[in-house]
Amino acid sequence: MIKIATKMFITKGYSVTTLRMIADELDTSAGHISFYFPSKDDMLAVLTNMLCEYQREMMEQEAGEGISSLLSICLELMVMAAACEEDEIAKDFFVSSYSSSKCLSIIHKNDTVRAKEVFAEYCSGWSDEQFRSAEYLVAGIELATLNAIDKSVPFETRISFALNAIMMIYNVPEDIRRIEIEKVLAMDYRSIGKRIFNEFKEYVEGTQNSE
């Protein structure tokens, strides 16, 4: 059930996929699906959790390739935003996840843990509550970046502003912020965004096939 639903979300689009469409694909009733998953949000939460697991694996891989955890955090937002620029289905998924209270709770919990690891050296003495509060601000910045409506502002400008604001929240010095942003902007974000979203689709398929 969840396998079919998540596949439809990332191939057809979350917003256009209805419980009835999922039910038809499974040759069952929408009521039967609602017994296990009261709403589409509950299904989207499963996919969002997969995204968090995928991002953790990506960070571990990047660390093995010599990419710093700070740059990895910056790359993550750039990749999601680039995917949203290039693929409406990707944008629908990411924006829907950040707009759902259930999904945002998963994202917030995951990102708070990572923020404590990545930004600890710049946030000496911070409490767990301070990291949690900071991540609420970060989530708002990320959603605004992913759901950019005014395309008259260049992508590079939006990304620079977002990354700078996020790192400022965590007291990252200006010279380090500038270096990390320059590294991100030097990359071919369009091809990276497409590739990473396609790899995420494959990750979802692989994860579900192994269950």
95-153 pLDDT, tens per residue?
Answer: 999 999 999 999 999 999 999 999 999 999 999 999 999 999 999 999 999 998 777 88
Q: What is the CATH number of the domain that holds 74?
A: 1.10.357.10
pLDDT digits (tens, 9 = 90+) for 146-196: 998 777 889 999 999 999 999 999 999 999 999 999 999 998 877 888 888
**Alpha carbon of 52 to those of 26, 29, 94, 96, 103: distances in Å?**
27, 30, 12, 15, 10
CB-based burial of residue 91 (10 Å sphere; 0-12 exposed, 13-18 middle, 19+ buried)? buried
Closest CA to 18 of 2, 48, 42, 40: 40
Number of structural domains, the chain? Answer: 1
Q: Which structural domain range is residue 198 located in?
A: 2-209
